[in-house]
Amino acid sequence: MNRREFLLSAAAFAAAPHLAGCATTSAGKSGHILFGACRGPGDAKLLSSVGYDFWEWGVGAAFDPEKGDEWWKVQRDLIVSQPIPLRSCNGFIPWKFRLTGPKASHAPALEYAERAMRRADEVGVKTLVLGSGGARNVPGDFTGPAEQRPDIEGGTRQFVDFCRELAKRTADLKTTKVVIEPLRPNESNIVNFVWQGVAICEEIASPRIRQLADIFHMMMGGDPAASIVRAGHFLAHCHIASYGTRNFPGAEPDTVPRLRPYFAALREIGYTGGVSCECGWGAGEDLAKNLETALKTMKGL
């Protein structure tokens, strides 16, 4: 089996016993899932009062690698002074950096990413989410002539190379990991399914590179809950939003049953990481009520 088949074929993942084994080693364990929400530091006190375990912010807002050490000293104090921890950050690589395609330039992106990871490690952030569709999407036009179509195989290899080099540069870190976020096909043309991210984790074989399961993207993209079981110990973080609307869990009660298989899969592997609401919250004056609804919904799944 060649690399292209391994990274791009669902059948390859299903046939890889070493990946399935990673999940079954933890099957049946019980653990406490941590719940968070993607909100800024101004809402950390509210999240704590409602009962959330952590908050999730944007990488650029939290660590801005392009700002100097004096700014970072103040920012670091802001982060660690909150009543609950900043456990994860999303939006890792800005769209201005190209990770794939003929104009890809990894050097500036790696410099940016490494500095962000080192700042995150200083304050104990567990995961930085590598979704970043704008940076990773392989350029091209699927409807055009052959020479203009995206080189998906080459772009995937470039993405893997970027992750591998970043893992090498940050091998000395104590806490912070990168988690690969699969995005549904209409948001990214590579790494659309959890098994594809896990295949990359397996190939790189570094504790700095782990997997994210975004339950919204999984539901919308047809990625079954069984993918979480297959991911096993590679799974380090989760995102969640309601099916279809991308609102907070419980916003549309009739969509809640769609979430149940994914939480059953998390329990099956004894998952004890974070599940973070990356979603719409409705009108500002309803935020506290909606946060309560979301937490109650998730804990009831």
Q: What are the residue boundaries of the structural domains of the chain, listed by start?
A: 31-299
Task: Output 12 or 291, whichever has higher pLDDT.
Answer: 291
Question: Residue with structure tokens 């704008």?
Answer: 134
What is the mean pLDDT of the segment spanning 162-172? 98
Q: Which tokens go with 102?
A: 């003929």
Cα–Cα distance between 135 and 86 in angstroms, integer?
24
Least confident residue range of 39-43, 139-143, 153-157, 203-207: 139-143
Among 211, 291, 297, which Cα is nearest to 259's?
297
Confidence tier at 11 by pLDDT (50, 70, 90): very low
User: Is the pLDDT reported for residue 21 higher than 90?
Assistant: no
Q: What is the pLDDT of residue 219?
A: 97
Model pTM above 0.75 = yes
Average pLDDT over residues 202-221: 97
Closest CA to 250 of 299, 184, 284: 299
DSSP state letters, 177-228: EEEE----TTT-SS--SHHHHHHHHHHH--TTEEEEEEHHHHHHHT--THHH
Homologous superfamily in CATH for domain 31-299:
Divalent-metal-dependent TIM barrel enzymes (3.20.20.150)
* pLDDT of 146: 65
Write down the pLDDT at residue 190: 92
Rounded Cα distance, 12 and 195, in Å: 10
- Cα-based angle 149, 182, 282 (whole degrees, multiple of 5): 115
pLDDT value, residue 143? 65
Output DSSP code: residue 234.
Answer: G
> Which tens digits make up the pLDDT trace of 95-113?
999 999 999 999 999 999 9
Q: What pLDDT digit, counting tens, does each position of 248-298 carry?
A: 999 999 999 999 999 999 999 999 999 999 999 998 899 999 999 999 999
